[in-house]
Amino acid sequence: MSAALREGPYLESWRWMSRQIRCGLAPDEPRLIEHYLAEGRYLAGCTPTSPWMIAVTTFRLLLDTATDTALPWQWRSLCLDHAWRPLRDLEAQALCTCRLKRWQSFAWQLATCELEPSISLTELVQGFPDE
Q: For residue 74, which of 127, 32, 43 has the smallest C-alpha distance?
A: 32
What local confidence, expressed as pLDDT, does residue 129 receive? 59
Q: Give the CA radius of gyration of the chain.
A: 17
- Judged on CB neighbours under 10 Å (0-12, 13-18, 19+), 117 is exposed
* Average pLDDT value over all residues in the chain: 89
Judge whether residue 118 has pLDDT over 80: yes
pTM: 0.85
pLDDT digits (tens, 9 = 90+) for 34-54: 999 999 999 999 989 899 999
Residue 120: pLDDT band with limits 50, 70, 90: confident
The residue ranking higher by pLDDT, 47 or 129, is 47
CB 53 within 8 A of CB 13: no
pLDDT digits (tens, 9 = 90+) for 58-74: 999 999 999 999 999 99
Tally of CB atoms within 10 A around 18:
19
The tally of CA atoms less than 13 A away on the side-chain side of residue 29 is: 11
pLDDT digits (tens, 9 = 90+) for 7-35: 688 899 999 999 999 999 999 999 999 99
Judge whether residue 2 has pLDDT over 90: no
Alpha-carbon dihedral sign for residues 15, 16, 18, 22: positive
